[in-house]
Amino acid sequence: MTLMDAESRYGAVSRGVHWIMAILLLAMLGSEVWFEALEDTLSEASLMAWHQSIGLTLLGLVVFRGFWRWLNRSRLAPPVRWASVAKWGHIALYALMILMPLSGLAAALGEGDTVTFFGWTVFAHGPEVEWLESSGEDVHEVLANVLWLMIGVHVAAALAHQYLLDDRIMKRMA
């Protein structure tokens, strides 16, 4: 098992970060459900602290993943006939994965809330900035819906490659 990507398969780092992010993204996109399920057990502030911590973790992971992808840029290329679509699809996913936590951060800062990362204060409580809170929340919600759509397209494309085009592309990330 190699850490770096190879011509026929993603390396251990790319695969590990991909699947960790996939699990965390699905948990975050479903956070409305687990917020409601845990609202009697944990306070809203506690739930939001977890949401912020996981969101900031995802932001760090996507930055690392982008850097790792850049390091491995010449090692693994999509099939030529799909290269442009794959490139733009991945750019859209990366943009969404960066903008989601930034819009959430804007909403939290606009609300004047303390932003924490697993108990460590990243931004202390501050003044409420209504326009920042409102626009941050609106953008965060829209981006969440678009991200759900893009994840669906990403999964559909992987399944199409695997079963319709029979190019075994999913084996590269497994």
Tens-place pLDDT, residues 21-41: 999 999 998 888 888 888 788
Mean pLDDT value of segment 154-169: 87
Mean pLDDT value of segment 77-105: 89
Paired sense of beta strands 115-117 and 120-123, if any: antiparallel
The more confident residue out of 108 and 172 is 108
Asked if residues 156 and 89 have their Cβ atoms less than 8 Å apart, the reply is no
Mean pLDDT value of segment 149-173: 89
Q: What token pair was written down for 79?
A: 């099939």
Q: What token pair was written down for 166?
A: 């029979």
Task: State pTM to two decimals.
Answer: 0.90
Helix or strand or coil: residue 73?
A: coil
Which phi-psi region, left, alpha or beta, contains residue 87 (left: φ > 0; alpha: ψ -120 to 50)? alpha
Distances (CA, A) of 149 to 87, 89, 96: 17, 11, 11
pLDDT band of residue 172 (cuts 50, 70, 90) is confident
Residue 101 pLDDT > 80: yes
Mean pLDDT value of segment 104-124: 96
pLDDT score at 42: 82
Residue 75 pLDDT > 80: no
pLDDT band of residue 79 (cuts 50, 70, 90) is low
Q: What is the mean pLDDT of the chain?
A: 91
Kindly state the helix (H) or strand (E) to which residue 169 belongs, with its residue range.
none
